[in-house]
Chains A and B, each alone.
Chain A
Amino acid sequence: MIDPSWVSGLAAILFGIGLIGTFSRKNGIVVLMCIELMLNAANLNFVAGALNTGGVEGWVYTAVAIAIAAAEVAIGLAILLSLYSTQETISLDEAVMLKN
Chain B
Amino acid sequence: MILSSSEAAAMAPEMAIMAGILFAILVPNLGDAKARIPLTSFKFPILWGGTRFEITSDPRAPGIISTVSLAVACILSLYAIESSDGKTISGVMEITGFGRFMSMVFTAALAITAAASIYRIPSTKITVDDAKDADERTTLSLMDNRRQVDLHILLMMVALGMSLMALSTNLFFLIVCLELASMASYVLVGFHKESRIGGEAGVKYFIVGSIASATGIYGMSLLYLWAGSLDFAGLSASWAAMDTLDPLAGIGVGLMLVAFGFKVSAAPFHLAAPDAYSGTNAPIAGMLATASKAMGFVAMMRVLVGFAAPNEAVTAWAPALGVLAIITMTWGNLAALSSENPKRMLAYSSVAHAGYMLAALAALGSGLADSNTQDLLQMAIVFHLSVLVLFKMGAFLVLTLLEIEGTGKSISDMNGLARRDPIVASSMFVFMLSLAGIPPLSGFLSKFLMINGLVTTTTDTGAATAANAMSWLQSVDPYFLLALAIVLNSALSLFYYLRIGLLMFFEEPVTDSPLPKAPLLRVAILVSMVLTVLFGLGPASEWLLSLVETAISTF
* Contacts A61-B224, A72-B183, A75-B186 given; does A15 touch B218 at CB 8 Å: yes
| Cα distance A68–B183 in the bound complex, in angstroms | 10
* With A46-B224, A86-B195 as contacts: A92 and B186 at CB distance below 8 Å: no
A13 lies within 8 A of chain B by Cβ: no
**A interface, over-half SS:** helix
A45: B residues at CB distance < 8 A:
218, 221-222, 224-225
With both chains docked as a complex, state the minimum distance between the C-beta of B274 and any C-beta of chain A, in angstroms: 8
Flag if A68 contacts B176 (CB, 8 Å). yes
Write out the residue numbers on chain B whose beta carbons fall within 8 Å of the beta carbon of A48.
225
Per the bound structure, the CA–CA distance linking A28 and B204 in Å amounts to: 10
What is the CB-to-nearest-CB distance from A57 to chain B, in angstroms, rounded to a whole number? Answer: 7
Point out which of B202, B218, B230, B344 has the most chain A C-beta atoms below 10 A from its C-beta: B218
Q: Determine, out of B206-214, B308-316, B425-433, B480-488, the stretch whose residues face the partner at the interface.
A: B206-214
Interface string of A38-66 (1 = CB under 8 A from B): 11011101101100110001100100110
- Flag if A22 contacts B187 (CB, 8 Å): no
Instruction: Please indicate the chain B residues that have their CB under 8 angstroms from the CB of A80 in the complex.
Output: 203
Residue numbers in B under 8 Å from A18 (CB-CB): 214
Q: Inside 8 A of A68's CB, which chain B residues have their CB? A: 176, 179, 217
Q: Which residues of A contact B229 (CB under 8 A)?
A: 53, 57
Interface residue ranges of B152-172 to A (CB < 8 Å): 172
Given contacts A52-B228, A79-B202, contact A100 B211 (CB under 8 A): no
Answer whether residue B341 sits at the interface, using C-beta atoms and an 8 A cutoff. Answer: yes
Tell whether, in the assembled complex, residue A61 and residue B187 are in contact, meaning their CB atoms are under 8 Å apart: no
Q: Identify A64's interface contact among B172, B187, B203, B211, CB under 8 A.
A: B172
User: B196's contact among A22, A39, A92, A97, by CB below 8 Å, is which?
Assistant: A97
Is B373 an interface position by the 8 A CB rule? no
Contact assessment for B218 and A61 in the assembled complex, using a CB-CB cutoff below 8 Å? no
Asked whether any CB of chain B lies closer than 8 Å to the CB of A24, the reply is no
A48 to B229, CA, bound (A): 13
Q: Could you tell me how many residues of chain A have their Cβ less than 8 Å away from some Cβ of chain B? A: 45
Q: Is A83 in the interface zone, CB < 8 Å from B?
A: yes
Bound together, the chains give a CA A41 to CA B339 distance in angstroms of 39
Complex alpha-carbon distance, A15 and B224, angstroms: 16
Judging by beta carbons under 8 Å apart, are B228 and A79 in contact?
no
Say whether, besides A65-B217, A80-B203, A71 and B183 are in contact (CB < 8 Å). yes
Contact B340 A100 (CB under 8 A): yes
Chain B proximity of A75: nearest CB distance (Å): 5
> Are B203 and A98 closer than 8 Å at their CB atoms?
no
B positions within 8 Å CB-CB of A: 172, 176, 179, 183, 186-187, 190, 193-204, 206-207, 210-211, 214-215, 217-218, 220-222, 224-225, 228-230, 275, 278-279, 339-341, 344
10 cross-chain pairs, A with B, having the tightest CB-CB distances, nearest first: A45-B221, A38-B214, A83-B199, A82-B193, A82-B199, A42-B221, A49-B224, A98-B275, A42-B218, A53-B228
In addition to A75-B187, A82-B190, A97-B196, 7 A-B residue pairs with Cβ atoms within 8 Å of each other are A35-B207, A39-B218, A42-B221, A61-B224, A76-B210, A79-B203, A82-B202
Residues of A at the B interface (CB closer than 8 Å) are 8, 11, 15, 18-19, 22, 28, 31-32, 35, 38-39, 41-43, 45-46, 48-49, 52-53, 57-58, 61, 64-65, 68, 71-72, 75-76, 78-80, 82-87, 92, 95, 97-98, 100
